[in-house]
Chains A and B, each alone.
Chain A
Amino acid sequence: MTQKGKSDSGSAGSAVLLAVLLVTLVAATVYVFAARLYPAPPPITSTAVLIDRQYDLTLYVAGVVFVLAQLGLAFAVFRFRDRGQPARFTRGNVAAEIIWTSLTFLAFLGLAIAGRNAWAEVRYASPAPDAIQVEVTTTQFVYTFRYPGADGKFGRLDPSLINAPAGNPLGLDPNDRAGNDDIVVPDLTVPVNRPIELLLRSQDVVHNFFVRELRLQQDSVPGMMIPVNFTSNRTGRFEIVCTQLCGLGHSKMHSFLDVVSESEYEAFLKQQAAGQ
């Protein structure tokens, strides 16, 4: 350890290397994010667009702080490496503390407020009254989707009747007439530009329903019926994945969201009804 007034000749190398690495870190990180080298797939709902905007806003704020802090660190270790100079004695600077604390507080509070809508739209708002309801049942390790059929009513389910090999994966009660026209399928087909309400439930453990393009993710919890809603403004086939660890088949548990035109959706319903 060096005495006051004497310099540590080993400092220059470490200081330079640290500064160079930090600058490289900043450059590489900013490049990857700015060039959007690994983007999420394009959003297909207006809420997803709101979420993306909030993500971008957060990225700018975090990015600015990241750049300033890492470069500040790089500058400080380089500029104040031991070259024989005495250290500048100070216990702190209350004014500076107050200023940067307040700025941080305002920035974070601002972000929290700005993000309110994106959350509220999905979670607080009830779906439109003409929303198409689809029940989503998760089990180890498949998704099963149920439509109420022409009568618009879901039939009664009884866990003791569940028998997937026999063709009754949900435990539909044959004595309940409302269930006779229920459509039970392994993929989710919905019409474009129509509000969809998904009713998430689970038969065994906690699972999850996640579609990247919807920017929508929700756990399905046994013992609960959890509604989420969305309106897709684009047709296409999108992947549904499970993100909540559910057992050894977790990484294999996936399905598809098919957003189709209104006429294709009607055709789908007719075809399913005819097959019953």
Chain B
Amino acid sequence: MSSTHAPAGSSRGFIRRYIFSTDHKVVGLQYLFLALAAVTLGIILSLLMRFHLVWPAVHLPFVGGGIMTPEQYLALVTMHGTIMVFFVLTTAPQSAFGNYFLPIQIGAPDMAFPTLNMLSFWLTLAAFLCVIAAFLVPGGAPISGWTAYPPLSGLGEVTGPGEGLGQTLWIVSILIFCFASLLGALNFIATTIDMRAPGMTLMRMPLTVWAWFVTAILSLLAFSVLLAGGILLLLDRSAGTSFFLPAGLVVNGELQSHNGGSPLLWQHLFWFFGHPEVYIAILPGMGVVSHILANFSRKPVFGYRAMAFALCAIGFLGFLVWGHHMFVSGMNPYSGLAFSVLTMSIGVPSAIKTFNWLGTLWGGKIQFQTPMLFAIGFVSFFVTGGLSGIFLAQPAVDTMLHATYYVVGHFHIVMGVAAVFGIFAATYYWFPKMFGRRMDERLGKLHFWLTFVGVYCVFMPMHFVGIEGGIRRYADSTGAGYLAALQPLHSFMTIAAFITASAQLIFFYNFFHSLKRGERAATNPWNATTLEWATSSPPPLNNFGDHFPRVHRGPYEYSVPGEKEDFLPQNLAPEGSGATGSREIPQRAYVTGMAMLLSGILMFFMALVSAYFVRKGFSSDWRPLEVPRVLWVATLILLASSGTLVFSRRDLLARQEDGFRHWWGVTAILGLFFLAAEAIAWRQLTAAGVSLGGNPSGSFFYVFAAAHALHLLGGIAALLVVAFRPTTRLTRGTATEVVSLYWHSMNALWVFLFILLLAGAQS
């Protein structure tokens, strides 16, 4: 985005090059600037909170009314958490730096699906604007925390200010964000699997690529579940359903009309997403740290295979531990033991990574430029934050620490500090490559020292506040008497917070000033080995111009004995040339992308199915639903459409153009007939008095049917697009293969849902 960038051979206008661009580098920078804006807002919100906790009686001019009310404080809590977790920690490490550098580090010209990539960014921006709008509507922003537990979040304005339109906007924003993340994730996965340069085996990928890859898989599977949960919460609020809202609720003297829902169901769905989410926030930082530690120690990463394995292990185990957020929630205490053991197990790959970082430094020739300082800082904070986690991982100890400031200290040190240090390290490291200029080294170092000391001063005392019983999300200390004694610690933290936040101005100044006036950067200022340093700063439009690299060695060949230089670039060929010409997007990438999309869709429906079983077992208001007979006909129609699609592909492969078109069209028409049959079933049920909000089995029928029907509609649209539009990047063979995969999967999904509904009709 700097004025020095002159994309080779591009005649596109300003709008196509910098605004609605499909170039992954531009998309990555757009995400980066969004994250910078979000973190600025997030820090301001937190400073308002810290100020209020220590000087609650001081008039704040821009807070409506002057003195901050408890609900305003809670709105700050909610929005600070939401903005930081989603629009900073999920956006900067993965969407910003991952988008920019994943294709380059694997020697690809762009992401597998550039247009989808652009769409992901604009959806993310829309989500950001939507959540900010919550500040501006009547009632203000929601007060239920970033965790939005119902019934507080599920009943509307009656539970508190901000719970009306503000909470609705929050949920809608999250749903949009889920879509954006899913689309981004499948892009990352298909690109990593199918677009690596010749010679770039999995075991020669930089650890940054490993981290972005594993993180993308986590995103794909976790955000699908949040999407399902968020939709159900929206329905509870506005459609009279009772997924999360039990009977007999009396709020403010008003009896609510809901029936039989389970508040714990929301917690399970949310945390099933929520725990992988925090690994999504930290894993890319771990990759960047490994990458930088090797570069500036002039040694390979210690135990590269173990590091790659540990990333995968953390990712996998991250899906099995969500219950440690729910030890005192009222869930079965035996599951507490299970979740505890699994949570402690995550400590093992985390420890492997820490030891290997130390091992990378050990025996090195360590140089302390700013990126390296932040990478070293990351290790210190990850150790501190990780260790405080093992207290919370044990339910007995968690009983005294849950929901205290101890938890707030823990997650701020791992997410608010370590992950952010990863972002800083990445920024200082890759700034020269992205903008062709260097950030000022002295200002960078000053920024580091002030921040390193500052954040320890802000967040370490939180542990002590928590141990002594200071409770989180408290707007003031006027309730229980013992809280007053904790004020001195709060004062210390607030002053430290203001000083540390001020120090970040150095970073912002350095960043924006260097964009225009920084010293010009060389191609490889850090004498690094990976492919991004083999191209110009900034890279040309297709990343490598005419000379696409071929990879000859692993990513961290530093100080190899017997070599002249202390680093060997990955693409440096033994003979000398190494160029392989330009690279297209392989057709198989589209199949990978579709397989990933289907995985995400499957997770979404599995979340709904889990909700079905939990809700069914939770309360006694479940009445079996008679499945309309017409759905048997509908199912047969859908199965027939799979048959016709098979005929169509067979004819295409046999070059029978007419046969292909004929059967392809019949498939689409059968799809429409299915939807018509389903509409009839829908009418029959509503006529029989089965409403969305009445009987929970009815609620689930309508939700399953509608969700599946929308996906099928998408499939019909895809059939029509393939029939009428000439394809550009996809061959017709690939397009039909990909659409067939989707169609058959949606049909199999319907059969599964239909069997589920039939089984439910018996009990």
Contact = CB atoms under 8 A, between A and B. Distances in A.
Interface string B465-498: 1011101111111111110000001000000000
B157 to A, nearest CB: 12
Interface string B437-463: 000000001000100110010001000
Given A3-B566, A87-B363, A217-B328, A204 B151 contact: yes
Given A92-B302, A223-B619, A247 B396 contact: no
A233 interface: no
A175 to B, nearest CB: 18
B368 A111 contact: no
A82 interface: yes
A112 B344 contact: yes
Contacts of A2: 367
B249 A119 contact: no
Contacts of B391: 55, 58-59, 62
A77 to B, nearest CB: 6
B337 A162 contact: no
Nearest to B387: A62
A115 B396 contact: yes
Interface string A218-256: 111111101000000000000101111111111111100
Contact of B365 (A55, A87, A124, A139): A87
Contact of A89 (B246, B464, B560): B560
Chain B's interface size range is 35 or more
Interface string B660-671: 000000000000
Interface stretch (B12-20, B373-381, B592-600, B646-654): B373-381
B359 A159 contact: no
A101 B304 contact: no
Given A58-B391, A244-B403, A219 B328 contact: yes
Nearest to A94: B303
A76 B333 CA distance: 43
A69 B354 contact: yes
Chain A's interface size range is 35 or more
Contact of B330 (A55, A210, A218): A218
B143 A248 contact: yes
A206 to B, nearest CB: 5
B390 interface: yes
A151 to B, nearest CB: 24
Interface stretch (B30-38, B67-75, B683-691): B67-75
Contacts of B460: 29
A93 B91 CA distance: 35
Contacts of B368: 8, 10-11, 14-15, 18, 77, 81
A8 B400 contact: no
Contact of A140 (B147, B159, B246): B159
B394 A80 contact: no
Given A66-B387, A217-B399, A243-B404, A92 B304 contact: yes
Interface in A163-198: 163-164, 171
B760 interface: no
A212 B400 contact: yes
- Most interface-central of A66, A85, A108, A224 (chain B CB within 10 A): A108
A217 B469 CA distance: 11
Contacts of A50: 396
A14 B356 CA distance: 22
Interface in B251-275: 251-253, 255, 260-264
Interface stretch (B278-286, B293-301, B575-583): B293-301
B366 A97 contact: no
A140 B74 CA distance: 15
A223 B306 contact: no
A243 B406 CA distance: 13
Interface stretch (B194-202, B345-353, B694-702): B345-353
Contact of B403 (A55, A61, A243, A247): A243
Contacts of A104: 347-348, 351-352
Given A205-B149, A244-B149, A254-B480, 5 more contacts: A58-B391, A91-B304, A97-B352, A217-B399, A223-B263
A-B pairs with lowest CB-CB distance, top 6: A223-B246, A88-B363, A118-B396, A14-B368, A123-B333, A243-B403
Interface of B: 69-71, 74, 143-145, 147, 149-152, 159-161, 245-253, 255, 260-264, 297-300, 302-306, 328-330, 333-334, 336-337, 340-341, 344-345, 347-348, 351-352, 354-356, 358-359, 361-369, 373, 376, 379-380, 383-384, 387-388, 390-391, 393-397, 399-400, 402-404, 445, 449, 452-453, 456, 460, 464-465, 467-469, 471-482, 489, 525-527, 558-561, 565-566, 618-619
